[in-house]
Chains A and B, each alone.
Chain A
Amino acid sequence: MPDGPGPQQPESPPPEPRDPASQRPEPQRPGPQRPGSQPPGAQPPDPRRPVAPTAGGAAADLAMDEGAALELPYGGTPGGPVGRPRSLWSDAWRELRRNPVFLVSALLILFLVVISLWPQLIVSTDPLACDLGKSQQGSEPGHPFGYDTQGCDVYARTVYGARASVTVGICATLGVALLGGIAGGLAGFFGGWADAVLSRTADVFFGIPVVLGGLVFLSVVTGTTVWPVVGFIVLLGWPQIARIARGAVLTAKEADYVQAARALGAGNTRLLLRHVAPNAVAPVIVVATIALGTYIALEATLSFLGVGLRPPTVSWGIDISNAAPQIRNAPHMLLWPAGALSLTVLAFIMLGDAVRDALDPRLR
C-alpha cells in the first residue's frame, strides 16, 4: 500500500472533549490500574472472587489508557485527491494505461482487429489469386512471406486469415462468457432447484469430447461462414465458464460485505451488480481470456481437421493444415500463419492478465 496511512497514525480520531468511559458512574469498576501499581499486601484481593474487576484486564485497562493517548488530532496524511469521486472502473483504467504489458498487448490486438476489418490497408494482393507456377517458392519483392503449395501469397493469406481467427475468438468468447457467466452466476446466487438443473446440464455438455463433438456437429453443416464454428464453441464452452462463475459467486455471496448490504436493505439486483459481480468477475475474465486463445487454436484445429472453416474462407488453421505435410520443403508456409496464431493467442492472454490485475485494487 504505497499511499496508505503512515504507521505513526494508525488511528486519528478527533480529540475527545469528554471520555465516555470515565463519565459513567461505576463505583465497582476501578479506574485505570496497572498490574504493578498495587502491592499484593496492600489490599488483599478476595481469593474466592471469580473475576478481576476489569479482568482481561490489566491489558485492557492499560490499552484503554493508551488508546485514549493515541487519539491525536489528524496528522498530515492526505487521502489523495478529494474532488471527483473515483470508481473501480476509472481506477482500473488509470492503472491499465500505465501498464506496459497492457499497452503492448492492446496495441497488438488493436492492430489485429484493424487488419481483420480492413486487410487491404496493408495488403494489396488478393489471397485467393494463386499462381501454381510459384508453388512453395520463397520470398520475393512484393511477396515477403513467399508462396504456398497452391502458389498463393502467404503474406496476404496470413493477413486475411486474422479476420477468421479474431472473429471466431472474440465472438465465441463473448458468447461463452455471457451465457456461462450469467447462467452460472444466477445459479450460484439463487441456488436451489435451478442451480441443480443447471449444474447437471453443464455436466452433460462437459462430457462431450470437443474434437469428436466438432467432427459430428460440424460435419453436417455445409455453410462456409464462421458462425457454425462460433455456435459450436459456445455450445461446448459455456459450462466451463458457468462453473467458474458459479463457484466465484458462491464464494462472494457469503462474504460479510454482502451480508452487510443485505442488512442495509439492498435488493438482489444491487447485491448482484454492486457486490457479488465485481468480486466474482475476475476469475471469469481470466478464464475467458485464456479460453479466447484456446478458441482461436480450436478453430484452427477444427479447420485443420477439415470440419471448421472451409476454403475459400482464409484461415490460419486451414493454412497450417495445408502447410504441415510440406514443413521440410517449405517451412515458411507453416511458420508465418503459426507464428501469427501464437502471437494472437499470447496477446489476448497478456491482455487478460493485465485486466485482472487492474480490477483488483489489492494488487495496486
Chain B
Amino acid sequence: MHQPVDAEPPPEPEPPPRPGRPEPLLEVRGLQKLYPLTRGVVLRRRTGAVRAVDTVSFGLGRGETLGVVGESGCGKSTVAKLLVHLERPTAGTVRYRGEDITRLSGRALKAVRRNIQMVFQDPYTSLNPRMTVGDIIGEPFEIHPGAAPRGDRRRRVRELLDVVGLNPEYINRYPHQFSGGQRQRIGIARALALNPEVIVADEPVSALDVSVQAQVINLMERLRDEFGLAYVFIAHDLSVVRHISDRVAVMYLGRFVETGTDEEIYEHPTHPYTQALLSAVPVPDPGARERRERILLAGDVPSPADPPSGCRFRTRCWKAEAVCAEKVPELAVPVAFRGRDRPVAHPSACHFAETLPLDRPAPRHVRQAPATGPSGPGGPGPDGG
C-alpha cells in the first residue's frame, strides 16, 4: 500500500491501497541530520547547526523506485548517506524490514549493509585508482566472506561485469582505462555484488554526458527488473527521475515538500516550489515554449543554518501569507483536495496548495513573460551543482 510521506498520518481516510504495492522494505521516519557549527579552537562553543536534512519521512517498497529531486544543497546527498549509514542521523529512524538501522553497529550493521548499497555520483572518484576492476568488484566478497566462496569470487566478478554490460576480459584493468559510463557500470557492479535489496543512487548519471546517461539509466532499469531491486534515485534532473521512478519526492532545504507518483508530481503539481521547478525544465517544442509561462523565483535559497520559520519556501513564494511564517505546513494531502481523487490529492506541504492553472496567478516579479528566452537566470531549475 502507498505510504503517505509524512511524520503524522493525516486524519483523512487512507487512500485506497494500490494493487501490488508491497510492504515497505525501507521505512524512514522523521530523519534529521544537523551539522553543528562551532566557534573557537580550545573552547568549542556551539553557535548553531546546519539543518541539512530536517524531518524527512518516506517508505520504500520492494522493487519500487523513489526519485528524489531538488536543487543543489537541499540535502539530497545527505539523505543518501544517512540511508547507507555513512552518516548517523541526529534524530529519526531508518527501518529496514522493521529494524532500526541507525543505532546498529558492528556485526549487525555489517549484515544490514549487505542489503543496502550505494552508487556514487562521480564515477571518477568512486573507484580506487590503485585497484584493478577485479579487486574493486571483488572487494565486497572479501569484506563479506560468506557471500561467495573464495575460489568462486573471480568467476562472480566476471559474471557481474557481464551483467552490467562490460567485457569480462576487462577484469585486470584499472579504472582510469575506462570511460565515465563504463566506470559507473563498475560502480553499479560493485553495489550489486552482495545482492542487495535496496540501492541508493546518489546522482548516478549527473557526471555523465547525455547519451551515456541513457545507457546507464537503461541498465539500472534492466537490473531493477532482473533482480527486483528497490532504488532511492537521487537526481536534480527532472526528466531522468521521471524516466525511472515510480514515486517522486521533491526536496527543498532539507524537507520533502511534495510527494506522489510521477504522474501526480509532473502532471498535477500542487506545491508552488514544484510548479516553479517544473516550469524551468527546457521544452523541446519551440511552439510550446513560446506559449508557456515560466515561474521565476526571486531570491536565493536561504541558508540551511538559519532556515525561515514556518514554511521553508515562504521567502521565495508568491503565495506566502502570515500563516506561512507561523505554521509549518505538514506533508499531507492539502485540505483543499481532501476527498478528491488521486492524481490531484497527493501529499503536498503547502498551506495554499492548488493545481495549475493557478487560481491566483503568480505576481509579475515571479513570472516571466513568454518572450524572454528559454533559459533566464534565477530559475530554480536543475543546475549543475
A residues neighboring B (CB under 8 Å): 1, 3-5, 10-14, 16, 19-21, 23-24, 28-29, 33, 35, 38, 40-41, 44-45, 47-52, 54-61, 63-64, 66-68, 70-71, 74, 77-82, 85-88, 255-257, 259-266, 270, 274-275, 278-279, 359, 361-362
Question: Would A5 and B118 be within 8 Å (CB), given that A51-B238, A86-B172 are in contact?
Answer: no
In the complex, B98 has a CB within 8 A of chain A: no
Q: How far is the CA of A11 from the CA of B218 in the complex (A)?
A: 13
Q: How far is the CB of A161 from chain B (nearest CB, A)?
A: 39
Contact yes or no, B139 A264, CB < 8 A = yes
Q: How far is the CA of A108 from the CA of B265 in the complex (A)?
A: 71
Contact yes or no, B292 A47, CB < 8 A = yes
B residues neighboring A (CB under 8 Å): 81, 84-86, 109-110, 113-114, 117-118, 120-122, 125-132, 134-136, 139-140, 142-144, 154, 162, 164-167, 169-174, 176-179, 181-182, 185, 187, 190, 194, 210-215, 217-219, 221-222, 224-225, 237-240, 242-243, 263, 266-267, 269, 275, 278-279, 281-288, 291-293, 295, 356-357
Q: How far is the CA of A270 from the CA of B110 in the complex (A)?
A: 14
Residues of A with C-beta under 8 A to B283: 51-52, 55, 57
Contact yes or no, B84 A63, CB < 8 A = no
Contact yes or no, A50 B239, CB < 8 A = no
Q: How far is the CA of A61 from the CA of B210 in the complex (A)?
A: 10
Q: How far is the CB of B343 from chain A (nearest CB, A)?
A: 10
Residues of A with C-beta under 8 A to B85: 263
Residues of B with C-beta under 8 A to A38: 285
With A50-B295, A88-B130, A256-B121 already in contact, 15 other A-B pairs whose C-beta atoms are closer than 8 Å: A10-B182, A45-B287, A48-B356, A50-B275, A50-B292, A50-B356, A54-B239, A56-B240, A60-B213, A60-B243, A64-B218, A255-B128, A263-B113, A264-B139, A279-B129
Please classify the interface of chain B as helix (H, G, I), strand (E, B), loop, or mixed, using the class held by over half of its residues: helix
Residues of B with C-beta under 8 A to A85: 132, 134-135, 154, 172
Q: How far is the CB of A329 from chain B (nearest CB, A)?
A: 55
Q: How far is the CA of A88 from the CA of B211 in the complex (A)?
A: 33
Instruction: Give 22 CB contacts A-B under 8 Å.
Output: A1-B176, A1-B177, A3-B177, A13-B185, A13-B215, A20-B224, A29-B242, A48-B292, A52-B283, A56-B239, A56-B282, A57-B281, A60-B213, A77-B167, A82-B169, A87-B135, A256-B121, A261-B139, A263-B113, A263-B117, A264-B144, A361-B130
Contact yes or no, A52 B113, CB < 8 A = no
Name the residue on A nearest B142 (C-beta): A270
Residues of B with C-beta under 8 A to A279: 128-130
Q: How far is the CA of A10 from the CA of B282 in the complex (A)?
A: 28
* Cβ-neighbour of A264 out of B117, B219, B267 (below 8 A): B117
Residues of B with C-beta under 8 A to A263: 84-86, 113, 117-118
Q: How far is the CA of A86 from the CA of B291 in the complex (A)?
A: 60
Residues of A with C-beta under 8 A to B292: 45, 47-50
Residues of A with C-beta under 8 A to B212: 10-11, 67
Name the residue on B nearest A58 (C-beta): B284
Contact yes or no, A80 B172, CB < 8 A = yes
Q: How far is the CA of A155 from the CA of B204 in the complex (A)?
A: 66
* Cβ-neighbour of B139 out of A55, A266, A362 (below 8 A): A266
Q: How far is the CB of A283 from chain B (nearest CB, A)?
A: 14
Contact yes or no, B293 A48, CB < 8 A = yes
Name the residue on B nearest A23 (C-beta): B225
Contact yes or no, B239 A57, CB < 8 A = yes
Residues of B with C-beta under 8 A to A278: 128, 130
Residues of A with C-beta under 8 A to B288: 40, 45, 47, 49, 52
Contact yes or no, A49 B356, CB < 8 A = yes
Residues of B with C-beta under 8 A to A55: 238-239, 242, 278, 281-284
Name the residue on B nearest A361 (C-beta): B174
Contact yes or no, A14 B165, CB < 8 A = yes
Contact yes or no, B243 A270, CB < 8 A = no
* Cβ-neighbour of A79 out of B167, B194, B215, B269 (below 8 A): B167
Q: How far is the CA of A26 from the CA of B93 in the complex (A)?
A: 34
Contact yes or no, A260 B182, CB < 8 A = no
Residues of A with C-beta under 8 A to B173: 79-80
Residues of B with C-beta under 8 A to A260: 118, 120, 126, 187, 190
Residues of B with C-beta under 8 A to A265: 109-110, 113-114, 143-144
Q: How far is the CB of A130 from chain B (nearest CB, A)?
A: 54
Q: How far is the CA of A261 from the CA of B117 in the complex (A)?
A: 10
Q: How far is the CA of A344 from the CA of B81 in the complex (A)?
A: 51
* Cβ-neighbour of B263 out of A4, A24, A28, A262 (below 8 A): A28
Q: How far is the CA of A106 from the CA of B170 in the complex (A)?
A: 33
Q: How far is the CA of A265 from the CA of B144 in the complex (A)?
A: 8
Contact yes or no, A56 B293, CB < 8 A = no
Contact yes or no, B165 A12, CB < 8 A = yes
Name the residue on A nearest B161 (C-beta): A79
Q: How far is the CA of A49 from the CA of B267 in the complex (A)?
A: 8
Contact yes or no, A13 B263, CB < 8 A = no
Question: Would A13 and B165 be within 8 Å (CB), given that A256-B120, A264-B117 are in contact?
Answer: yes
Q: How far is the CA of A361 from the CA of B181 in the complex (A)?
A: 20
Q: How far is the CA of A264 from the CA of B243 in the complex (A)?
A: 28
Q: How far is the CB of A238 from chain B (nearest CB, A)?
A: 24
Name the residue on A nearest B237 (C-beta): A56
Q: How far is the CA of A30 from the CA of B288 in the complex (A)?
A: 16
Contact yes or no, B218 A68, CB < 8 A = yes
Q: How far is the CB of B124 from chain A (nearest CB, A)?
A: 9
Name the residue on B nearest A67 (C-beta): B214
Residues of B with C-beta under 8 A to A87: 132, 135
Q: How far is the CB of B272 from chain A (nearest CB, A)?
A: 11
Name the residue on A nearest B113 (C-beta): A265
Contact yes or no, B187 A66, CB < 8 A = no
Most buried by A among B172, B178, B225: B172
Residues of B with C-beta under 8 A to A52: 281-285, 288
Q: How far is the CB of B50 from chain A (nearest CB, A)?
A: 18
Name the residue on A nearest B292 (C-beta): A47
Residues of A with C-beta under 8 A to B132: 85-87
Q: How far is the CA of A79 from the CA of B85 in the complex (A)?
A: 35
Name the residue on A nearest B87 (C-beta): A259
Contact yes or no, B279 A51, CB < 8 A = yes
Residues of B with C-beta under 8 A to A3: 177
Contact yes or no, A56 B140, CB < 8 A = no
Name the residue on A nearest B275 (C-beta): A50
Q: Which 9 A-B pairs have the closest CB atoms?
A: A13-B165, A56-B239, A58-B284, A40-B287, A47-B291, A67-B214, A45-B288, A55-B281, A256-B126
Name the residue on A nearest B109 (C-beta): A265
Q: How far is the CB of B237 from chain A (nearest CB, A)?
A: 6
Residues of A with C-beta under 8 A to B190: 260, 264
